[in-house]
Amino acid sequence: MSAALFQALQQLLGANHVQDSEQASPFLTDKQGTYVGRVIAAVHPANTEEVAAVVRLCVAHGAPIVVQGGNTGLMGAATPDGSGTSVLLLLDRLNRVRAVDTDNDTLTVEAGCILQNLQDVARDAGRLFPLSLGAEGSCTIGGNLGTNAGGTAVLRYGNTRELTLGLEVVTAEGEIWDGLRGLRKDNTGYDLRDLYIGSEGTLGIITAATLKLFPLPKAQATALLAFDSLAQAVDLLSHARAGFGASLTAFELLTADCLALLREQFPDGPQPFLDAPQPWFALLELSDNHSEAHARQTFEEVLGEAFESGLLADALIAESLAQSEALWLLRENMSDAQQRAGRNMKHDISVPISRIVDFVAHTDALLQEHFPGVRNFTFGHLGDGNLHYNVAHPLDSSVEAHMQNYVALSELVHDSAHAHGGSISAEHGIGQRKLAMLPRYKSPVELDLMRRIKRALDPQNLLNPGKVFALDDDGESL
């Protein structure tokens, strides 16, 4: 059966665009090296019609389909299981820009386009496509849509869902839904677009999207701010929202421990606030649509008021683009710094901003009580209530011993986020890694609604099975 499907795929796409499991091995391990899959074939269709034809062939052979973009996701969501019964769908050849409409401020692109290339296309058209994340040089817009990716500019522009007007999708039965509408208002029934976004390849294959463009800012201003407490940082965020309005584009938290780790792992990198006593820092960015002078003036006014009101302990304001880039490098290097220092437990939680201070104090204390000596590296998108609440091993114990506590420690962190009105995944999704955790935090009603949607859109459970939630052949939860 699998040999017949392999041959049929070769006939459909040409032998050059179909790989066996061994040839496809670079795509069969997830970004973090946790999951390794096997497949009947990995296929590289050239266009939407070929994607639809691949899906129809897989349906006819009862073969599950896993769609993968840049494979930068952190939940193992794009990695097939080890059974060798799936087909891996790679959209690298769907990489065309179909339209740039500057009157409508939209960009219509295929799902395999690399995010950074789309930022460049928008800039060349005198516009901004604001989605920006550490993996932008290799992640694809299809993967961004599949995970509803966030990034560093969510505070101002929203996440991928909010940046998307229309989609083209190949359904689980191999039909093509052309929903590539460039409309900002359209109330004609259920919003299928929002259903597919963030569904991690479990409801349909997104083959193209119409995305929103924005004016290119005329100027940007960046500062690294120092705080005596997390509560002070949260107060400053409120002050900055009021003072800068929509110009506030980023508010990214770092701790003194994060800065120390960056110094240790990147000794040649920027080293701001070397001997500063403050425990909390935030990278603030303002985008201004008037001029450099206006940006500077607004920046100094709002931060000056903050100093006078005791909302700020210290500030380092970038005086040039190079200095701004150096400050951003701190934030961008955090993942690598942690990776270099050894594996740690990552939690991309979110809680309402009003409850972040309580969440951090409560969870830090619980961790020390139950897992003495673990080290917190808490950083990220404070402006969206989304923290990377990462926990590294105690210095007197090994990474391996620490990782053995993954389930219990993560449960403690997630229970705390949930108790504070939060989510266990603000960015990375559920994939395989959080599959078993989801039922603990979603009500039976919500899970059942999700299952019913899955059954309706993918009746044979062939699209990325075993991700988000587990279903057996009858569509019931395992």
Closest residue to ligand FAD using C-beta atoms: 143
Query: Contact residues for ligand FAD (CB under 6 A)?
Result: 31, 67-74, 77-78, 91, 111, 133-135, 139-140, 142-144, 146-147, 149-151, 200-201, 205-206, 335, 427-428, 464, 467
- Nearer of residues 306 and 356 to ligand FAD, judged by Cβ: 356
Task: Quote the least distance from Cβ 201 to ligand FAD, whole Å.
Answer: 3
- Nearer of residues 298 and 378 to ligand FAD, judged by Cβ: 378
Task: Quote the least distance from Cβ 362 to ligand FAD, whole Å.
Answer: 25
- Nearer of residues 298 and 464 to ligand FAD, judged by Cβ: 464
Residue 337 CA from chain centroid, whole number: 19
- Nearer of residues 140 and 298 to ligand FAD, judged by Cβ: 140
- Please give the Cα distance from 31 to 6 (Å, whole number): 26
Task: Quote the least distance from Cβ 308 to ligand FAD, whole Å.
Answer: 34
- Nearer of residues 193 and 467 to ligand FAD, judged by Cβ: 467
Task: Quote the least distance from Cβ 395 to ligand FAD, whole Å.
Answer: 25
- Please give the Cα distance from 222 to 285 (Å, whole number): 5
- Nearer of residues 126 and 269 to ligand FAD, judged by Cβ: 269
- Nearer of residues 195 and 326 to ligand FAD, judged by Cβ: 195
Task: Quote the least distance from Cβ 91 to ligand FAD, whole Å.
Answer: 5
Taking CA 314 as the corner, what is the angle to CA 310 and CA 318, rounded to the nearest 5 degrees?
A: 130
Task: Quote the least distance from Cβ 457 to ligand FAD, whole Å.
Answer: 12
Task: Quote the least distance from Cβ 377 to ligand FAD, whole Å.
Answer: 15
Task: Quote the least distance from Cβ 144 to ligand FAD, whole Å.
Answer: 4
- Nearer of residues 1 and 46 to ligand FAD, judged by Cβ: 46
Task: Quote the least distance from Cβ 90 to ligand FAD, whole Å.
Answer: 9
**Residue 220 CB coordination number (10 Å):** 18
Sequence-distant (6+) residues with CB within 8 A of 241 are: 248
- Nearer of residues 78 and 462 to ligand FAD, judged by Cβ: 78
- Nearer of residues 166 and 243 to ligand FAD, judged by Cβ: 166
Task: Quote the least distance from Cβ 428 to ligand FAD, whole Å.
Answer: 6
Which residues are bridge partners to 255 per DSSP? Answer: 280
Q: Tell me whether strands 248-255 and 348-350 are parallel, antiparallel or unpaired.
A: unpaired
Task: Quote the least distance from Cβ 188 to ligand FAD, whole Å.
Answer: 23
- Nearer of residues 209 and 312 to ligand FAD, judged by Cβ: 209
